A and B are shown apart, each in its own frame.
Chain A
C-alpha cells in the first residue's frame, strides 16, 4: 500500500516519529543469533560461522521446504486458525509424486504402467494431493464449524495413514533424473522465494489479503461487512494444503525417494517459524517477510548448534524455549499497545 497518499489528515500534524516496521526487530534477533554463533564458532572451532558460503547455502536449502509450508501456515494463522496437517501432507504428496516419477527399468514400480512420465505429472499429482487435503480441511472447518485444531488434527493422522497405506511402508524410489532436478541445486530455494514474493503481494495488495486479515481480526465484523467468511476460509486452507503439497514434492525430489515417514514434525517447525516471525496466534496480524525471517532464524539455530557441536537433544530444548519466548514477546507487545 502506498503510504505517501494518506498520511496528511486535515489540520492535524503528520506523525514525526519514525516507526520501525515490526520485521526490523525480528531481523535484529536473526542478526543477534547469527553473531552469537559467529563468536562461539571462533571460540569453539576457531573459524567463522557466517562467512562460509557453503554453510549459508545449506542453511537456506534445509529450510526451503519448511519455508514453503510456513507461507501457507502463515495465511491460516492470520485468520486465527491453525493447520496441524502440513507435515503429513508432505508425506502424502511426496509418495504420490514419487509414484508417478519412477523409471521404467525398475521392476517394482508402484504403477508399472505409469513410468518415465513427463515431469509435469508427478508435479501436478503432488500438488493436487496437498490441495485436496487442504480442501478437506477447509470444508470441515467451514461447514461443520469444528475448530481448526481438531479438523487438521484429524487430517494429520489420516494423511499419514494414507501415505503408509499407499507405500505399504516401503520407500518409493528409483525416480527419474528430471524429477530429481526439482530438488537439486538452488531449486527448492528458488521455489520458496518465488512463492514468498507471490503471497507477500497477495497479502499486501489484493482484496483476498485484506479479507484474510479482516477475518482474523474480527470474524463477526467481517461477516457483517459482507465477506463470505466460509468461502474464504476454504480458500485459505486449500492454499495451505497446496503449498504443503508442493513442499512434499520438493522433499521427494531432494531425497530422490518418497517415504511415508517424511515431514514428521514439519508442521510444528512451520508454526514455530510463523510465530517467531511475528504473526499473532490471535489472528489479524502477520507478514510473509516476518515468516521468511522466522524460517531463517530456525535454520541458523539448527546449523549453528551443529556447528559448535551441541547435542541434538539440547538443540530441541532450546528451540522449544525460543518458540515460547516469541509468543510471550508477542503478547507483551500487544499489552503495551492497549
Chain B
C-alpha cells in the first residue's frame, strides 16, 4: 500500500503551551476481534472551530467519535481535555466532563415534553422533592433563546418534525455546558431550509467558543460549515487541513488514496444475455427510479456510502420489502416479487448484510443453517418428511467445497468464526443453484483468507454463468471484482461505470455528491 496523499500532513500545528487546545487525541489505538479499527490516531480540536472528520466507510471515524464520547475505551493512547489527561469511562462520564454527542438516530423520549427531555436526570425540584415544572419550562426557554431555537418547551417530542427534534438534541447537549459537541451526520434527514437554520446555530455555538466535531459525507456542507477537517483511511490518520486551502478533488484523493492489491482473482468470462433487468424500481421514501441490467456471467458492483439505499434495493429485489413501483424482469419475463419465496422460485439467492441479524440461526447447528433454503423445493417428500441422508450428504459436500473449518456438521454455528459462518451462509444459497446471486457485503468482518476464498468462489460462479449483484463498502473489492460498478447516492443511482472507467476517484465522486 502506498500513500499518495501525505503531502498535506503538515498543517496540524503543535499546541502552544500557554493555550492548550480544547481537545487533543494522542496515539489512539482501538482493536476489535479480528480488526484494528484505529491505529495510532492523533487529532486536535481547537476551541471555536468546526472540525469535520472525513473518510470512507470503515475508515475509523465512528470509532474515534465513540471513543471521544466515552462509548468505547481505547486500547492505547491519551485524551487531553484543555491540556489535562482524562479518562472517559462512559457516555455519562464524558458528558459530565463537557463532551456531548448528538447521535445520528435521535435518542429522545417521544411521549415526554421537550423540556422534560432536555433536562432529564437534572429536573429542578420544588421543596416537596417533586419536579418543578414551572422552573423546568423557564430554564428551557432561556436555553432556547440563547440558541435561537423556536420550539414550545411543553410540546410532546413526538409531535415535532425531525429537524426540531434535532434542535432539541443540540439544546440538550448544550444544556450540559459541553465544550465539545460531536455531530454525526446531523443533516441527513433535514431539508435545505432546516439545514441553514442548523448551520446558523452551529455558527453561534462556534462564536461562543465551543469546539464542534462534525461528521458528514456531504462535500458541499464541508466547505460551507467546517473550518478544518481531518481525513482518515483504514483506521489511520492521514491529514488535517484548513477547509479554505483545498478542493473537493484533493479531499477525495486523500480519502481513497491507495492501490488495489491483487487479492481479487477476477477471471475473464464470456458475458451472456440479460438475466435480471430492473426498471425504475422505487420504494417510497427509501430509493427511487433504480434501473440496471445484469447479464449472465457478469458481476455488477453496487457501491455507495452507508445509508445510500444499496441494501434496500437488494431487499426489494428479493421480495423482503416489496417495491412501490417499477418492474423486475427475469430472463425476459416480468415478475411481481412480493415475498422471498417468489424470488427464490425465480432463481435468486440473497446473502444478507448482517450475518447475526438476518443470516445465521445462531443456536442451530451447521447442517440446519445450511439446508434451510432448499427445504421448499428439494429434499422433502410429499408428506413433508425431510430426506436427511441426501440432504446431509450434499451439505457436507458443500461445506467441504467451501472449506468450512469445523469438527462436524453438528457444531452450533455460534461457535464458528465470522468467516466460517459466512461460508456456511454462502453454502445455504449455493445449494439452491441460483442463477442470480445478490451479495450484500459478502466479506465484511471476516479474515483475509476467508475473504480471498469467497472472492475466488464468486468469480467461479460468474464463470458458470451466474449473474451477480455485489454490494460492498470496500472500494478495492468493488473495483477488483466487478465488470461494471453502479453507484448510489441518497436513494438514486448516480452512475454506472464500466470496469475500465471505474477507479476510486470516479466512484467516490459519484457516491459523495
Contact = CB atoms under 8 A, between A and B. Distances in A.
Contact of B409 (A7, A214, A280): A7
A217 B373 CA distance: 15
A227 B372 CA distance: 9
Given A5-B392, A6-B367, A221 B408 contact: no
A15 B408 contact: yes
Contact of A1 (B360, B392, B412): B392
B384 interface: yes
Contact of B363 (A205, A207, A285): A285
B367 A218 contact: no
Chain B CB within 10 Å, residue with most, of A6, A12, A222, A338:
A6
A225 B320 contact: no
A221 B368 contact: no
B428 A214 contact: no
Interface residues of B, number: 48
Contact of B361 (A1, A8, A205, A217): A217
B392 A221 contact: no
Contacts, number: 124
B341 A226 contact: yes
B389 interface: yes
B469 to A, nearest CB: 15
Nearest to B348: A226
B128 interface: no
B344 A226 contact: yes
A284 B364 contact: yes
Contact of A218 (B361, B386, B388): B361
Contacts of A317: none
B393 A12 contact: no
B359 interface: yes
Interface in A202-238: 205-208, 210-211, 213-214, 217-218, 220-228
B449 to A, nearest CB: 16
B33 interface: no
A9 interface: yes
Given A5-B393, A208-B384, A221 B361 contact: yes
A224 B376 CA distance: 13
A144 interface: no
Interface residues on A, range: 35 or more
Contacts of B375: 207, 210-211
A13 B412 CA distance: 17
A309 to B, nearest CB: 43
A9 B399 contact: yes
B430 to A, nearest CB: 14
A207 B384 contact: yes
B341 A9 contact: no
A12 B406 contact: yes
B406 A9 contact: yes
B410 A3 contact: yes
A210 B372 contact: yes
A284 B361 contact: yes
Contacts of B405: 12
A15 B407 CA distance: 6
A10 interface: yes
A208 B341 CA distance: 16
A212 B383 CA distance: 16
Interface in B348-366: 350, 352, 357-364
Contacts of A12: 405-407
A2 interface: yes
B318 interface: yes
Chain A CB within 10 Å, residue with most, of B344, B360, B371, B407:
B407
A14 B372 contact: no
A89 B363 CA distance: 32
B291 interface: no
B511 to A, nearest CB: 26
B32 interface: no
B386 A206 contact: yes
Nearest to B428: A225
Interface string B314-356: 0000101000000000000000000111011000001010000
A14 B358 contact: no
A6 B408 CA distance: 7
Nearest to B397: A10
A244 B414 CA distance: 35
Contact of A207 (B367, B380, B428): B380
A221 B360 contact: yes
A208 B386 CA distance: 9
A6 B370 CA distance: 13
Nearest to B344: A226
A223 B408 contact: no
B415 interface: yes
A154 B320 CA distance: 31
Contacts of B367: 1, 6
Contact of B341 (A15, A214, A228, A285): A228
A15 B409 CA distance: 11
A284 B344 CA distance: 24
Contact of A9 (B339, B350, B376, B396): B396
B384 A224 contact: no
Contact of A6 (B363, B372, B396, B414): B396
Contacts of B412: 337
Contact of A206 (B357, B373, B384, B415): B384
Contact of B414 (A205, A214, A223, A338): A338
A131 to B, nearest CB: 19
A284 B410 contact: no
Interface string A275-286: 000001010110
A330 to B, nearest CB: 12
A23 to B, nearest CB: 16
A12 B410 CA distance: 14
Chain B CB within 10 Å, residue with most, of A9, A205, A222, A228:
A9
B59 to A, nearest CB: 29
Contacts of A218: 357-362
Given A205-B388, A228-B341, A221 B396 contact: no
Nearest to B395: A6
A210 B361 contact: no
A228 B358 contact: no
B181 to A, nearest CB: 35
Interface string A4-47: 01111110111100000000000000000000000000000000
B407 A14 contact: yes
B363 A284 contact: yes
B415 A337 contact: yes
Contact of B350 (A224, A282, A337): A224
Contacts of B400: 9-10
A207 B375 CA distance: 6
B347 to A, nearest CB: 12
A5 B358 contact: no
A8 B399 CA distance: 11
Given A205-B385, A217-B362, 4 more contacts: A5-B392, A9-B404, A220-B357, A220-B358
5 pairs of A and B residues whose beta carbons are closest in the complex: A217-B361, A10-B400, A6-B392, A226-B341, A6-B409
10 contacts: A1-B388, A9-B396, A9-B400, A12-B405, A207-B385, A214-B361, A222-B361, A224-B318, A228-B339, A284-B362
Interface of A: 1-3, 5-10, 12-15, 205-208, 210-211, 213-214, 217-218, 220-228, 280, 282, 284-285, 337-338
